[in-house]
């Protein structure tokens, strides 16, 4: 028997609420002890607050993990450690595999996200649900000086034209992408250790890319680059094209590396020479 005013319905347990994170920032790190602290602080200083930061140490041989540990007091930051060095693509795959959010923001351990970056990209991605990848402009800097702003195409037609010419459509280092689109193409190709960013965008080329007309990232570089670096980068780019002509690396394309190619090397030499000339003119003027 129950009295008036009493509720005979058995008490229900409160429903389990899944707390979602809006943006997962994934940072691959290798021997970055002198720069990673500033990179982490650039995430903590974002105007957008609903983020997590997943740092993947790629078997560093310096004090990178030690530099990260004090930041782990922040519950929004975690560090994973790879047992062996596998490259930035593999490290990012590991981090994205542990991410909670549907939106992934890439940040290298030697770069700095400007405070408005995540807010601006999140709002754009929410307003354009069909967009798979969104980036912005970079400001290049280093011990040589800077920053020097590099503008990327903003108009969709110009971005698509770069894709058709097998060029980098947007700046990978400042990119945010949908995890569903990333997983649909199999993530980063771990065999393309230096051109893993280009290989990923090759697999995503049928998706929609965008670029906000704002500088989002301070991009740390070394100047001048060596001719050897330019040659290796050119060959790695060719490897990425061969392996990722389709959305997934073709089973027949099990190449870990490609032999020297005269046309590829010639293009790399010409590009390197033009860059060196432009740098000399800029710094001497």
Mean confidence (pLDDT) of the chain: 85
168 versus 260: the higher-pLDDT residue is 168
The residue among 83, 106, 86 whose CA lies nearest residue 189 is 86
Q: Which residue has the higher pLDDT, 171 or 257?
A: 171
Taking the CA atoms of 267, 270, 276 and 277 in sequence, report the sign of the dihedral they define.
negative
Q: Report the distance separating Cα 209 and Cα 245, nearest Å.
A: 18
Give the pLDDT of residue 222: 81
Per-residue pLDDT reduced to its tens digit, 221-248: 987 666 666 555 666 666 656 676 654 4
The length of the chain in residues reads: 285
Decide: pTM greater than 0.85.
no
140-146, Cβ contacts within 8 angstroms, sequence gap of 24 or more: 140/219, 140/220, 140/221, 141/218, 141/219, 141/220, 141/221, 142/220, 142/221, 142/222, 142/223, 143/222, 144/222, 144/223, 145/283
Q: What is the 3-state secondary structure (H, E, C) of the chain?
A: CCCCCCCCCCCCCCCCCCCCCCEEEEEEECCCCCCHHHHHHHHHCCCCCCEEEEEEECCCCCCHHHHHHHHHHCCCEEEEECCCCCCHHHHHHHHHHCCCCCEEEECCCCCEECCCHHHHHHHHHHHCCCEEEEEEEEEEEECCEEEEEECCCCCHHHHHHHHHCCCCCCCHHHCEEEHHHHHHCCCCCCCCCCCHHHHHHHHCCCCEEEEEEEEEEEEECCCCCCHHHHHHHHHHHHHHHHHCCCCCCCCCCCCCCCCCCHHHHHHHHHHHHHHHHHHHHHHHC
Would the pLDDT of 114 be above 90? yes
Domain boundaries, the chain: 23-220, 227-284
What are 132-157's pLDDT values in tens digits?
A: 999 999 999 999 899 999 999 999 99
What architecture is the 23-220 domain classified under in CATH? Alpha-Beta Complex (3.90)
pLDDT digits (tens, 9 = 90+) for 42-90: 999 999 999 999 999 999 999 999 999 999 999 999 999 999 999 999 9
Residue bearing tokens 């971005």: 159
- State the average pLDDT over residues 13-34: 79
- Which tokens in the block code for residue 30? 């290798």
Q: Say whether pLDDT at 15 is over 50.
A: no
19 pLDDT above the threshold of 70: no
Cβ contact 20:101 at 8 Å? yes
Instruction: Give the rounded percent of residues in the chain with a pLDDT score beyond 90.
Output: 66
């Amino acid at each position: 028997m129950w009295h008036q005013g009493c509720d005979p319905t058995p008490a229900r347990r409160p429903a389990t609420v899944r707390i979602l994170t809006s943006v997962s920032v994934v940072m691959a790190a290798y021997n970055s002890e002198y720069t990673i602290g500033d990179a982490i602080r650039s995430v903590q200083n974002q105007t957008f607050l609903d983020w997590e930061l997943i740092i993947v140490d790629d078997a560093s041989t310096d004090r990178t993990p030690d530099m990260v540990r004090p930041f782990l007091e922040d519950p929004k930051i975690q560090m994973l450690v790879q047992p062996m060095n596998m490259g930035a693509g593999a490290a990012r795959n590991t981090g994205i595999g542990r991410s909670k959010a549907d939106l992934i923001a890439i940040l290298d351990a030697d770069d700095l996200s400007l405070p408005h970056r995540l807010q601006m990209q999140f709002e754009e991605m929410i307003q354009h649900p069909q967009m798979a990848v969104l980036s912005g402009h970079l400001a290049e800097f280093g011990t040589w000086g800077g920053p020097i702003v590099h503008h990327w195409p903003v108009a969709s037609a110009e971005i698509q034209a770069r894709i058709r010419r097998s060029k980098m459509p947007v700046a990978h280092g400042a990119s945010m992408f949908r995890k569903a689109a990333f997983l649909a193409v199999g993530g980063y190709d771990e065999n393309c250790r230096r051109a893993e960013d280009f290989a990923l965008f090759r697999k995503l080329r049928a998706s929609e890319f965008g670029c906000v007309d704002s500088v989002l990232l301070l991009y740390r570089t070394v100047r001048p680059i060596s001719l050897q670096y330019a040659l290796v980068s050119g060959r790695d780019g060719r490897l990425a094209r061969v392996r990722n002509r389709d959305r997934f690396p073709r089973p027949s394309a099990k190449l870990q590396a490609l032999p020297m190619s005269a046309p590829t090397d010639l293009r790399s030499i010409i590009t390197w020479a033009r860059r060196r000339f432009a740098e000399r003119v800029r710094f001497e003027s």
